[in-house]
Amino acid sequence: MQENDLADDLLEGADAIGVFMGWNRRRVFYTAERKLIPIFRLGNRLSARKSTLRRHIEDMEQVAKRDGLPVVGKLLHGLRSKEHAA
């Protein structure tokens, strides 16, 4: 991977991750705290790689299909049930 490829692949900050995922900042922090998606810190900033997030979502789709769940059901069900419990 070349340097500019990495720059194009890297998301820095909750806002950038949120835009990429279609989420608000709160959901980004929520999923990061619970380690539901592959996010890491560069210094104090949440960061993620677009390619890793895509691969993670594809893996979740395969698990959901295998388990007979709707494609987005596994992640969203986990988020909703934890949000209601709080």
Is residue 82 within a helix (H) or strand (E), and if so which, with residue range?
helix 73-85
What pLDDT does 82 receive? Answer: 47
pLDDT digits (tens, 9 = 90+) for 31-40: 999 999 999 9
What pLDDT does 15 receive? Answer: 97
pLDDT digits (tens, 9 = 90+) for 43-66: 999 999 999 999 999 998 888 888
What single DSSP character describes residue 22?
A: T
- Domain borders along the chain are 3-85
What pLDDT does 53 receive? Answer: 96
CA distances in angstroms from 7 to 16, 38, 48, 50, 75, listed in the order given: 13, 17, 11, 10, 28
What CA–CA distance (Å, rounded) separates 80 from 82? 5
